[in-house]
């Protein structure tokens, strides 16, 4: 069977749109993720699928595509803008192109762990950003409580301070907040799709990367790196985001089910991520990777200028006020 990547985006969007012409009692949603089936986020998506299909008596079916089969995140977001029945687990940085406020979710040392992330993304402040996104780009946030963990540095040499990253070409997503954070940490940011990272490290196209433990293990990057430095510089807060046009075609009760089940599944996946951290670390140590805890104070100091550079100073104060409540 040919890969979906072989189809052009226009054709793929047409395929995804097909169910919208079906009878009103028959809908489907195609969910895309770059992650593997071993990842807690995938297991959360399965939970979402089960919850939605059970509560709608199978009238709304959910299909899950791993390994970015429907395209990279940006491609799927464009399909959603066109009204296709697709959704994607995506970070705020990629959504900042449409609503700048979303970008702060990927800012350095913004929150502490899942409790802080969940408090922010279920607040009225975040709801105002989600509504602004909907109006600006036609994207519908189902929920944004899919916490994938703290991101750490992946290198082939020890790292203890920002100066150790001088000249290191480091893969990161292409959103401005990610690029500026990695640059402030001392490395040279190199945007690249997640599925390309293993080969790029293997072939020396890049010198390092940064990611959360679950993704590192799922992508088998422990085979092509020697060190994981626990900087925890970004909490990867992601959301299940689809098309507002598709969402609005659903009855109000089905819309609520989609939101409810996305929130439940996000909690399930995030809690599973928390529980899995030690296990991932143990498995990668057994593969020969050195996992190093360091004093992160120099990295915190180095990255604080990111907020000013991206115009997030006032927004940062608003976020801190929410977290302090």
Strands 60-65 and 139-155 turn out to be: unpaired
Q: Which of helix, strand or coil describes residue 34?
A: coil
Handedness of CA 18, 24, 26, 28 (dihedral sign): positive
- Does residue 1 carry a pLDDT above 50? no
* Average pLDDT over every residue of 147-153: 96
Express each pLDDT in 83-108 by its tens digit: 999 999 999 988 999 999 999 999 99
Express each pLDDT in 23-80 by its tens digit: 444 699 999 998 889 899 999 999 999 999 999 999 999 999 998 999 989 999 999 9
Domains of the chain with bracketed CATH: 4-93+136-148+237-277 (3.40.190.170), 152-234+283-324 (3.40.190.170)
The long-range contacts involving 113-117, CB below 8 angstroms and separated by at least 24 positions, are 113/147, 113/150, 113/235, 113/274, 114/147, 114/270, 114/271, 114/273, 114/274, 116/235, 116/323, 117/145, 117/147, 117/235, 117/237, 117/270
For residues 223 and 286, is the Cβ–Cβ distance under 8 A? Answer: no
Express each pLDDT in 115-126 by its tens digit: 999 999 999 999
Least Cα distance to 122 among 239, 269, 242, 253 occurs for 239
pLDDT on residue 301:
97
């Amino acid at each position: 069977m040919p890969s979906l990547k072989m189809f052009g985006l226009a054709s793929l969007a047409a395929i995804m749109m097909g169910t919208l012409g079906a009878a009103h009692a028959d809908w489907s949603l195609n969910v895309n993720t770059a992650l593997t089936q071993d990842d807690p986020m995938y297991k959360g998506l399965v939970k979402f699928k089960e919850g939605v299909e059970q509560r709608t008596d199978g009238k709304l079916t959910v299909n899950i595509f791993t390994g970015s089969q429907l395209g990279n995140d940006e491609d799927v977001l464009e399909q959603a803008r066109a009204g296709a029945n697709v959704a994607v687990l995506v970070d705020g940085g990629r959504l900042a192109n449409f609503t700048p406020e979303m970008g702060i979710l990927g800012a350095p040392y913004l929150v502490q762990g899942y409790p802080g992330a969940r408090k922010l993304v279920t607040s009225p402040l975040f709801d105002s950003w989600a509504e602004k996104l909907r109006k600006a780009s036609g994207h519908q946030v189902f929920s944004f409580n899919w916490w994938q963990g703290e991101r750490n540095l992946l290198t082939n040499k020890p790292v203890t301070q920002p100066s150790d990253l001088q000249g290191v070409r480091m893969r990161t997503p292409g959103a401005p907040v990610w690029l500026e954070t990695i640059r402030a940490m001392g490395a040279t940011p190199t945007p690249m799709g997640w599925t390309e990272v293993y080969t790029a490290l293997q072939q020396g196209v890049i010198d390092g990367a940064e990611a959360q433990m679950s993704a590192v293990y799922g992508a088998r990057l422990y085979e092509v790196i020697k060190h994981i430095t626990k900087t925890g510089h970004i909490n990867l807060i992601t959301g299940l985001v689809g098309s507002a046009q598709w969402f609005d075609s659903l009855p109000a009760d089905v819309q609520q089910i989609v939101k409810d089940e996305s929130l439940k599944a996000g909690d399930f996946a995030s809690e599973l991520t928390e529980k899995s951290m030690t296990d991932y670390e143990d498995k990668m140590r057994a593969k020969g990777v050195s996992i190093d805890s360091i004093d992160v104070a120099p990295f915190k100091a180095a990255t604080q200028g990111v907020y000013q550079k991206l115009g997030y100073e006032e927004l940062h104060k608003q976020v801190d006020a929410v977290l302090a409540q």
